Amino acid sequence: MSKSLSIVVPAFNEENRLGESVVEILRYVSENLADTELIVVDDGSSDNTSAVAENAASGTPQIDCSVIRYEENKGKGFAVRTGLHAAKGDIAIFSDADLSTPIEELKKLVDPIADDLYDVTLGSRAIDRTMIGERQPWRREQGGKVFNFFVRTLTGLPFWDTQCGFKAFNMNKFRPLLDKMKIDRFGFDVEFLYVANMHGLRMKEIPVRWNHCDGTKVSIFRDSIRMFTEISEIRRNAKQGQYD
């Protein structure tokens, strides 16, 4: 049975904050949205992430909530794709487990797709920085700007913030592209947008509220190198026709 909306939350070792996020999402859904499902994807956690999610969801049994778990950590990109493959919604949105973008911002991304104005919408911290509450540490923020410059230069994508963990998709148009995706870790956002752009999907970057949350698993040094490598891989895949 199809749903109008699927909310996908990728999670890796998130037992300390995922429960509160699941409760908050389900509260918002029950008060504001009909015909919506929540899918938590446990990306091979070594803690009690799955059990915490299931326990948190048990308090709102009227909302369809499922937890997908696999044993090996495969990366956020793999987790998001897994959730989107399982999604029954005509529209799907993924959100970081820490809700750094409040779930109340959801309609900003979902409504333009429901109104058939766009096929992909991406939350952005860069268009209106007055909407940022608690900011990232200076070094991390500057690193993000450098990375985005690199992305814009190498991919031709016009967006100012490709890495905000809050994106929505018209699944009728985006689902056929999922099997073309190759990037399993942090460069997956760029690949999503690059492939969608190649296939003519209509995309819009939309400013959203955002707050830095402690506990990020991203290493500015290790993962910056990995992300630059993955952007180069995206260009190579495109030249080889793997996204056609």
What is the residue-level pLDDT of the chain in tens, covering all 244 positions? 456 999 999 999 999 999 999 999 999 999 999 899 999 999 999 999 999 999 999 999 999 999 999 999 999 999 999 999 999 999 999 999 999 999 999 999 999 999 999 999 999 998 877 777 776 666 666 667 777 888 888 889 999 999 999 999 999 999 999 999 999 988 999 999 999 999 999 999 999 998 877 655 555 556 667 878 898 999 999 999 999 9
Give yes or no: residues 66 and 2 share one domain.
yes
Sign of CA dihedral 167, 171, 11, 235: negative
Give yes or no: residues 110 and 90 share one domain.
no
Give yes or no: residues 38 and 124 share one domain.
no
Give yes or no: residues 159 and 206 share one domain.
yes
How many structural domains are present in the chain? 2
Give yes or no: residues 110 and 220 share one domain.
yes
The whole-model pTM stands at 0.91
Q: Which of 99, 121, 152 is the last residue of a domain?
A: 99
Give yes or no: residues 239 and 129 share one domain.
yes
Q: How far apart are the first and last CA of the chain?
A: 31
User: HEC states along the chain?
Assistant: CCEEEEEEEEECCCCCCHHHHHHHHHHHHHHHCCCEEEEEEEECCCCCHHHHHHHHHCCCCCCEEEEEEECCCCCHHHHHHHHHHHCCEEEEEEECCCCCCCHHHHHHHHHHHHCCCCCEEEEECCCCHHHECCCCCHHHHHHHHHHHHHHHHHHCCCCCCCCCCEEEEEHHHHHHHHHHCCCCCCCHHHHHHHHHHHCCCCEEEEECCECCCCCCCCCCCHHHHHHHHHHHHHHHHHHCCCCC
Give yes or no: residues 16 and 81 share one domain.
yes
Q: What is the pLDDT of residue 136?
A: 63
Q: Which of 82, 99, 116 is the last residue of a domain?
A: 99
Q: What is the pLDDT of residue 227?
A: 79
Contact at 8 Å (CB) between 196 and 203?
A: yes
Write the CATH number for 7. Answer: 3.90.550.10
Domain of residue 72 covers 1-99
Give yes or no: residues 117 and 233 share one domain.
yes
